[in-house]
């Protein structure tokens, strides 16, 4: 794949610019591209520590990813609900949902393949068998997976019509101005930092309903219910109203040594069973 990127920050190192501009490209991967001569300016390779001026066009050659088979791994799962159609797992902080660059194994998918065998839907392809929705690596809590395609289609439809309800617990910085409210603000990829999302005019509609649970000095313990499911939605929305999640340094939150990431936990999940039509509420406690 060939990309033409235009530098936008004078004096920024080339490897920093690439990792910031190409989604999913780590700093070390950007350095390898530069070392291999895959990043050129007017046909000439540039060095990884080069600091091009703003407005310089770079041609970037990104090789096709090598297909790495996903292997089942005996990773313990906290199964909250399971039957022949679906499985709901309480995902711990630090676990990635499916293999991706930088995370080839040790994911929830590797664990599900061990636990469920071949009984996972194939709609999302070989990389994400069974996965209907995702939560961030450093977000804990409930995630549902489908064991066959019919269940996957039914659950995906519920995501669209909001009958699959998800409620999150979070700690935000500062005191929320209201005891309850709704944030209706469109979200899209950040215009300069491709690894982040942002409230952007013309982005996809995103709606988060929040309610205060407990107020503390300088912090608020709240719950958020998603009406839509955009990437990083709660994190972006709370930062947008001036109350980033505690520990969420990506979106302006304060780092805390005892926290692995943002204070965000998918606490409740309610779905309509794809076979019986029964409404199934599931809940899990906050992590330690």
Catalytically active residues, by annotation: 136
Please identify which residue in the block is written with the tokens 């540039």: 46
Taking the C-alpha atoms of residue 125 and residue 134, their distance in angstroms, rounded to an integer, is 15
Strand pairing class (264-272; 140-146)? parallel
Q: Are 131 and 124 in contact (CB under 8 A)?
A: yes
Beta strands in 92-139, from DSSP E residues, in sequence order? none
Q: How many CA atoms lie within 13 A of 135 on its CB side?
A: 29
**CA proximity to 285, closest of 145, 143, 136, 140:** 140
Nearest-CA neighbor of 225 among 178, 181, 277?
A: 181
């Amino acid at each position: 794949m060939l990309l033409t990127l235009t530098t936008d920050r004078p004096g920024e190192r080339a490897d920093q610019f690439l990792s910031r501009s190409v989604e999913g490209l780590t700093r070390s991967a950007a350095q390898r591209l530069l070392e291999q001569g895959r990043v050129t300016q007017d046909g000439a390779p540039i060095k990884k520590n080069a600091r091009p001026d703003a407005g310089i066009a770079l041609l970037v050659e990104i090789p096709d990813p090598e297909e790495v088979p996903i292997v089942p791994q005996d990773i313990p799962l906290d199964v909250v609900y399971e039957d022949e159609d679906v499985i709901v797992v309480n995902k711990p902080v630090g676990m990635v949902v499916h293999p991706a660059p930088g995370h080839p194994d040790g994911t929830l998918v590797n664990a599900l393949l061990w636990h469920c065998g071949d009984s996972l839907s194939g709609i999302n392809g070989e990389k994400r068998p069974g996965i209907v929705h995702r939560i961030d690596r450093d977000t804990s809590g409930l995630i549902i997976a489908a064991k066959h395609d019919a269940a996957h289609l039914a659950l995906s439809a519920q995501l669209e019509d909001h009958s699959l309800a998800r409620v999150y617990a979070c700690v935000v910085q500062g005191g929320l101005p209201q005891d309850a409210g709704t944030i209706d603000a469109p979200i899209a990829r950040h215009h300069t930092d491709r690894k982040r999302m942002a409230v952007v005019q013309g982005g996809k509609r995103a709606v988060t309903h929040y309610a205060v649970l407990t107020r503390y000095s300088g912090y608020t313990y709240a719950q958020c219910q998603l009406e839509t499911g955009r990437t990083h939605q709660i994190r972006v929305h709370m930062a947008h109203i001036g109350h980033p999640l505690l520990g969420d340094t990506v979106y302006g939150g304060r780092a805390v040594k005892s926290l692995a990431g943002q204070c965000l936990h998918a606490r409740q999940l309610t779905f309509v069973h794809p076979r019986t039509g029964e409404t199934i509420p599931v809940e899990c406690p906050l992590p330690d």
